Each structure stands twice: as structure tokens, then as C-alpha cells.
Amino acid sequence: MRVIPAIDIIDGKCVRLSKGDFSSQKIYNEDPLEVAKAFEDHGIQYLHLVDLDGAKSKHIVNHKVLELISTKTNLKIDFGGGLKSDEDLRVAFDSGAEQITGGSIAVKEPEVFKKWLTTYGPEKIILGADVSGGYIATNGWLEISNQSIFKFLDQYKSQGVKYIICTDISKDGMLQGPSFNLYKKILKETKVKLIASGGISQFEELPILSEMGCEGAIIGKAIYEKRITLTQLEQFILLNN
């Protein structure tokens, strides 16, 4: 299982939110590159970089942060937040993204998302499935759609989607543990490369997610609040390689 730390960006700074609420913003570091380099120094190879300004503005905003991290580290970056147009995608990939994550666009403009899958291939395009009460949320989690998570995933699996990041909004940033039951059900019913996201609070949860069959785990606040240390993640990566 891949270990994927998260860096969320507002105004070029590394922040975390609780349940996606912008008013809950807490700044952890003014320099995202410093954070990314610390991850790399501990053997981490992947990064989940979220443009929260972009999510709010509905177009890419913090591509310069992406470009800086991609040129100054060897981290493989998946980038998301506000990617709505072909131009947004071009900028993201030109700025060094290895993969991009599309969530709201896959709900609201499925033809655009399907075109991206065809143009760039399923290795480059991750489906973001943000869940609230079993339904898909959009627009920085401000709106809840009428699409159930399982119908949504089935629809896109048939379109060739390989990678899915699933975030249970009620868990995100709350440090109360991930949605094990939801992930078990998704893995059983859809057989996708599932990246768990939201709620990871202690190191002991990582082996459980790995044994369940998750392809990756995104870890955010638990790192910044020092519930999980980079040394622990380094050891986990060494043992699982």
C-alpha cells in the first residue's frame, strides 16, 4: 500500500480543514516545499496536493506551488482542487503533476471527465469520490448530489477508471479513524484501486487498510498534529517494499 501524505494549499500555505470547512482553517507551515522535502527525506515517494483556493474558485490557482514542489523534489504528485477545464489540466500536467484528481467535474460534467480519461489514460486520471451519508458531494463539499457512491463508482469503472480516492467527509480532519466499513464494501463490490482518505488518526490504522486491500492511504492532519511520525511512515514503507 502506498503512503501518500497530503498538503492542502490556501494562499500558498500548508493548511488543514475539518470536514472541508474553510472557517476551520489551521495553518501548519508557510512553506509547502519545506513540508514536501521533509516527506521525501523520510523515504516517501508520493504526495497528494490539494488546491483549496482552486476548489473554491472552480479553476486552478496554486499551480506555482505544484511546479515548485515538482521541480525541487522527486515526489510523484497527484493534484486536485478546482480542475474544471482542459486548460486547467494542461496547466496541472505542465506544472509537474503525475496524476490529477477530478471529483465535482465527474458528477456535473461527466462527458468532460470521460474525455480526460480517453485523452490522458486511466493511469493519469483519478476519480475523486467524496462521500456524505452515502452520497457524492461536490464543489468543495458544499453541495450533496443525488448520486450514491456505489452507482457513481460502477458508472466510472465501466468507463475505464482505475484509481479512486474516496473521502468520507464526516471523518475528514477529525482524527477519529477512517471509514473501514465503507472501504470494505467498496473493495468487495467494485474491485478498484482504492485510495483511502479522511480520518486516519494513528499508525495502527495503516496495516488494517493495507490488509483490506487499499492501494494507497492519504494521511493529513495526523502527520501535522504528530499523531503519526514521519519515522513511523518510513519504517512502514521499508517493511512493505
CA distances from 132 to 59, 100, 118, 168 (A): 23, 22, 29, 6
The verdict on whether 130 is a catalytic residue reads yes
Q: Is 8 an active-site residue?
A: yes
Dihedral over Cα of 80, 82, 87, 91: its sign: negative
Catalytic residue among 8, 51, 78, 172: 8
Beta bridge partners of 129: 166
**Closest by CA position to 164, among listed 78, 46, 61, 77:** 78
Strands 163-168 and 193-197: parallel
Catalytic residue among 53, 130, 168, 172: 130
Give all strands (DSSP E) within the chain, no chain letters: 2-10, 13-18, 21-29, 46-51, 76-80, 99-102, 125-132, 135-138, 143-148, 163-168, 193-197, 216-219
Q: Report the candidate in 41, 37, 38, 29 with the shortest Cα–Cα distance to residue 73.
A: 37
Q: Which residues are catalytic?
A: 8, 130
